[in-house]
Amino acid sequence: MKLSGWFVIGFLTMAVIGVIWWISIPPEVEIRTSLSAVDAMSGDTEGYLRADGPREFVFPDDHGAHEGFKTEWWYYTGNLFTGDGRQFGYQFTIFRNQLNPPAEGVDTVTEESGWSTDQFYLGHFALSDVENKNHIYEERSSRGAIGLAGARAVPYRIWLEDWEVQRVGGESGSDPRFPVRLKAKMVGGAAIDLQITPAKPLVLQGDRGYDQKGSTAGNASYYLSFTRMDTKGTLKINDQLFEVSGHSWMDHEWSTSALDEDQKGWDWFSIQLSNGYDLMYYQLRLKDGSVSRFKAVTLVDPAGEKVPIDQEDATLEVLDHWESPHSKSSYPSQWKLTIPRVDLSLDINTVFPDQEMDVSVRYYEGAVAVAGTMNGEEISGHGFIEMTGYEGK
């Protein structure tokens, strides 16, 4: 009795010591951290190049990157159809961000390492499967170094790893119009491989490509578009491969600071109409929710000429809203756009509501269907709407 009692005491002592230590040692845990005292990316624009007035563009150079400006993007959107009329929307965008101002007009990167760079690239690729109301997207990023990402003018190639738009056919020449091949694939397997050929000449938006967006000097961008490009190729979604064709739109825009302090976001339409006209319309919105006086409208006739219209001639009316279940933001989903001066009235609807891009910066980029009249004639059309600044509403 007693003997075993002693054993019990002995082992209990050990057990108690053991348990104390055991408790004091947390079990095998993963390495978890947070970061502190890291400066938030400053909005400082000092030292960067600014869009401060119309300039002469030189091609093909101006299709490439404009280092020294803080932001730049190459935006491809389009509506594509299979032989039996099934519709898909696609968005493919490569953004370039400059991380530090260029020093004395030269690149700040002075180190020998190929990895060191001031160029940061971000890519968005999205597909809208209209039939299934399914919108899928992916975001990628990389530094613009050791060939991982970049924007080259000659021969034209804008790429982020294996996502790329590349010139096909002749390598150079000063004609800004040339066919490209666009290839992108998501981790899940969805992919596009498209041949894109401009059907109209390059459009210089705003004032000869200079687009003032705020009242402060330099709050402007350089803005070029191909408003209608014949597109054909393949699209793969849910392991199904489709032969598709349709029209694409391309915007190439660069700036250092575009928006004023009180501007919050924008609504931006790009529309190709069945009568051969193409329409670009955007309006900037203020923080109080009202529409800024900065808006723009460009109508391109079937021959590729800009129809002279004043921005005041266009009116946009929101008819309906959709609340995103992901962000709880409320986005417009139905509009009426009228330009009485050219006798144009359009009803615009998103092809389905949920085309929100829930990526590092949340926004809406969706295919729209258009119906209406122009010069008394019934017309239809397809296009894209981009909406930003609806967060927290």
CA distance 247 to 231: 5
Among 79, 91, 117, 333, binds another protein (CB under 8 A): 117
**Contact pick of 67, 139, 161, 354 for another protein (by CB under 8 A):** 161
Q: According to the binding rule CB under 8 A, does residue 379 interact with another protein?
A: no
Amino acid at 195: Q
Does residue 261 sit in helix, strand or coil? coil
Smallest CA-to-CA distance from 159 within 174, 138, 181 is with: 181
- In the complex with another protein, the residue whose CB is nearer, 86 or 143, is 143
From candidates 68, 77, 89, 118, binder to another protein by CB under 8 A: 118
Q: Which of residues 347-376 bind another protein (CB under 8 A)?
A: none
Rg of the Cα atoms in the chain? 26
Rule CB under 8 A: choose which of 93, 128, 142, 324 binds another protein. Answer: 142
| Span from 139-147, 283-291, 326-334, 371-379 in contact with another protein (CB under 8 A) | 139-147
User: Is 20 in a helix, a strand, or coil?
Assistant: helix
Residue 106 DSSP one-character state:
B
The enclosing H or E element of 308 equals: none
Closer by beta carbon to another protein, 26 or else 376: 26
Nearer to another protein, 190 or 199 (CB): 190
Both tokens assigned to 210:
């200079």
What is the contact mask toward another protein in residues 31 to 70, using x (rule: CB under 8 A)?
Answer: xxxxxxxxxxx-----------------------------
Of 43, 174, 187, 288, which one interacts with another protein (CB under 8 A)? 187
- Write the DSSP assignment of 47-70 as a string of letters: TS----S-----TTGGGS--BTBS
x/- track of binding to another protein for residues 69-108 (CB under 8 A): ------------------------------xx-------x
Cα(39)–Cα(29) distance, integer angstroms: 29
Q: Which residues pair with 382 in a beta bridge?
A: 272, 369
Verify binding: residue 340, another protein, rule CB under 8 A.
no
257 or 350: CB nearest another protein: 257
Cα separation, 137 vs 126, whole angstroms: 4
Contact 195, 244 (CB under 8 A): no
Q: What is the nearest approach in angstroms of another protein to the Cβ of residue 195?
A: 20
For residue 62, the one-letter residue type is D
Q: How many residues bind another protein (CB under 8 A)?
A: 55
Contact 257, 219 (CB under 8 A): yes
- Tally of residues, the chain: 393
3 binds another protein (CB under 8 A): yes
94 touches 160 (CB < 8 A): yes
CB of 256 to another protein, least distance (A): 15
- Nearest approach, Cβ of 255 to another protein (angstroms)? 18
**Does 2 contact another protein by CB under 8 A?**
yes
Nearest partner of 225 among 202, 248, 197, judged by Cα: 202
Residue choice 43, 113, 290, 376 for contact with another protein (CB under 8 A): 113
- 240 binds another protein, rule: CB under 8 A: no
Phi first, then psi: give them for residue 224, nearest 5 degrees: -125, 145
Binding stretches for another protein (CB under 8 A): 1-3, 6-7, 9-10, 13-14, 17-18, 21-22, 24-26, 28-29, 31-41, 99-100, 108-118, 120, 141-143, 145-148, 161-162, 185-187
